[in-house]
């Protein structure tokens, strides 16, 4: 549970990178609206890994991790696709390479921990099925 909680912070930093990316694509949109949509994976993983014991069984726990990974991946792919299609001018003094480093080096790398946890949970499920 501790490694999941630590890895969830990678999703938080990655969401900040995604936010910078979306701010460049949609400048008039409020930052809080974008952040609320981007913080869903971090909030999901943080909420289920905050306690010492998981709030529910292994199968829903695994599905919550998969949901968080899919949400983060879709939002990242959407940001990259919109940037490719719209090709906006850089917004402010924040280069987009920094946003990409935050999205991929922190957010996507945390998937390794989540995938390992999903594999362990799946083994536990198959081992204890009757």
pLDDT tens per residue across span 95-128: 888 889 999 999 889 999 999 999 999 999 888 7
- Average pLDDT (63-70) is 94
Question: 98-102 contacts: CB < 8 A, separation 24 or more?
Answer: 98/17, 98/20, 99/17, 99/18, 99/20, 99/21, 99/24, 100/17, 100/21, 101/17, 102/13, 102/14, 102/16, 102/17, 102/18, 102/20
pLDDT at 75 over 80: yes
Longest dimension (CA), the chain: 59
Q: State pTM to two decimals.
A: 0.87
Q: How far apart are CA 8 and CA 15, in angstroms?
A: 11
- The rounded Cα 93 to chain-centroid distance in angstroms is 25
* Residues in CB range of 9: below 8 A, 6 or more apart: 42
Which pLDDT score, from 0 to 100, does residue 102 have? Answer: 92
Average pLDDT in the chain: 87
* pLDDT level of residue 10 (50, 70, 90 thresholds): very high
**H or E stretch covering 35:** helix 31-38
């Amino acid at each position: 549970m501790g490694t999941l909680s630590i890895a969830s912070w990678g999703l938080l930093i990655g969401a900040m990178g995604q936010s910078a990316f979306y701010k460049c694509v949609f400048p008039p949109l409020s930052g809080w609206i974008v952040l609320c949509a981007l913080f869903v994976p971090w909030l999901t993983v943080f909420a289920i890994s905050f306690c010492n014991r998981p709030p529910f069984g292994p199968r829903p726990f695994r599905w919550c991790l998969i949901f968080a990974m899919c949400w983060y991946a879709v939002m990242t792919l959407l940001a990259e696709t919109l940037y490719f299609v719209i090709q906006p001018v850089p917004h402010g003094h924040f280069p987009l390479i920094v946003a990409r480093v935050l999205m991929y080096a922190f957010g996507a790398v945390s998937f390794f921990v989540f995938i390992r946890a999903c594999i362990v949970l799946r083994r536990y499920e198959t081992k204890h099925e009757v």
